[in-house]
Amino acid sequence: MCSTFCSQIPHHLNLAPMMIMKRFSAPISPYVSPRAQAITEPPSRVGFLGIGIMGSPMAHNLLKAGIDLTVWNRTKSKCDPLISLGAKYKPTPEEVAASCDVTFAMLADPQSALDVACGKHGAANGMGPGKGYVDVSTVDGDTSKLISGHIKSSGALFLEAPVSGSKKPAEDGQLIFLTAGDKDLYETVASLLDIMGKSKFYLGNVGNGAAMKLVVNMIMGSMMASFSEGLLLSEKVGLDPDVLVQVVSQGAISAPMYSTKGPSMIESLYPTAFPLKHQQKDLRLALGLAESVSQPTPIAAAANELYKVAKSHGLSDHDFSAVIEALKSKFK
């Protein structure tokens, strides 16, 4: 079993195989798994793990829609507003999964998504036939496949469903779900995805949703880096950057991101919707994806370096538009 298991460990985790074996205590058997069983449709008890910038409004929308919701977050206090609105709370991901038909997870990165799904008291320990796990975190395909293997070895179904759209779309129920995995689970949770989002794509095998999300965010990260250069250049040659934002917003390169974030970037304000550290993580994972198929991505590679500079100057938890700071002379 070890060779099968170890071959699934994502390269970027950089952990010795024995550490991984210790960390992810849920047994994984690729050969014998309990028979998967249909989930009641729509699921009557829903779990949500990871109540951060995105998880909080997504869970809130489920609650507002009358869903019987159980929540968990590493920092418990972030669950309190949801609990005061009627959500139940369980102290571990395992207990959430055990008490729910379907459990969603919205975690920061590959490591936290693995820890919460497959670690000690992780969700996989509470899964079983008749249940489903929907991971909406942005991770790479290898991580998603590893989580899928653990969940499915319990007899439960697995769907990866990363989202495109930020804090405001999450609040407005306007996210775009990029799903892949068990089609039965996709159909079972469709009504829940419709509460949280405006559209959903089913992309086939596990890994395809993750790949689509990484390609989209690779483009977005490069766009923001390029926009930052344009804003600073316009200012340096004596143009009004506010006018640049207006011109851009009316032409072929118009994007909501430029008109919503441009004005605050000009003021050097970066209220966090999408943390810069997550954008850099997505670029790093996208570059790994490109490397795996020998696709040249020089623009994304350059953008990634800029986000790394921004991170090294303490901007990790600012909005990703703070990448503009890395281009200012004080950082040279």
Catalytic residue numbers read 213
Selected binder of ligand LL5AMS7Z within 137, 166, 304, 321 (CB under 6 A): 166
- Collapsing DSSP to helix, strand or coil, 319 comes out as strand
Cβ-based neighbour number of residue 186 at 10 Å: 22
Q: Looking at 99-107, 111-119, 159-167, 299-307, which segment touches ligand LL5AMS7Z (CB under 6 A)?
A: 159-167
Token duo for residue 121: 């008291």
Return the bridge partners of 202, or none: 179
Q: What one-letter code names the amino acid at 232?
A: L
Compute the distance between CA of residue 17 and CA of residue 257 in angstroms, rounded to an integer. 41
Please identify, using beta-carbon distances, which residue of 29 and 174 lies nearer to ligand LL5AMS7Z: 174
Please identify, using beta-carbon distances, which residue of 152 and 213 lies nearer to ligand NDP: 213
Token duo for residue 297: 């991505």
Instruction: Give the E-state strand segments of the chain in sequence order.
Output: 45-49, 68-72, 88-89, 102-105, 132-135, 157-160, 163-164, 175-181, 197-202
Selected binder of ligand LL5AMS7Z within 112, 148, 217, 321 (CB under 6 A): 217
Return the bridge partners of 89, or none: 71
Please identify, using beta-carbon distances, which residue of 126 and 209 lies nearer to ligand LL5AMS7Z: 209
Residue 58, phi then psi, degrees to nearest 5: -65, -45
304 binds ligand NDP (CB under 6 A): no
181 binds ligand NDP (CB under 6 A): no
Q: Looking at 105-113, 179-187, 240-248, 283-291, which segment touches ligand NDP (CB under 6 A)?
A: 105-113
Q: What share of the chain is helix, strand, coil (3-state, %, to 5)?
A: 55, 10, 35
Tell me which residues in 257-276 interact with ligand LL5AMS7Z (CB under 6 A).
Answer: 274
61 binds ligand NDP (CB under 6 A): no
Please identify, using beta-carbon distances, which residue of 39 and 212 lies nearer to ligand LL5AMS7Z: 212
For the bound state, the minimum distance from the C-beta of residue 32 to ligand NDP, rounded and expressed in Å, comes to 30
Are 100 and 72 contacting, i.e. CB atoms less than 8 angstroms apart?
no
Are 12 and 285 contacting, i.e. CB atoms less than 8 angstroms apart?
yes
Tell me which residues in 107-126 interact with ligand NDP (CB under 6 A).
Answer: 107-109, 112, 115-116
Which residues contribute to the site for ligand NDP (CB under 6 A)? 50-55, 73-75, 78, 106-109, 112, 115-116, 137-138, 163, 166-167, 273-275, 278
Report the interface residues with ligand LL5AMS7Z, using CB under 6 A: 164-166, 217, 274
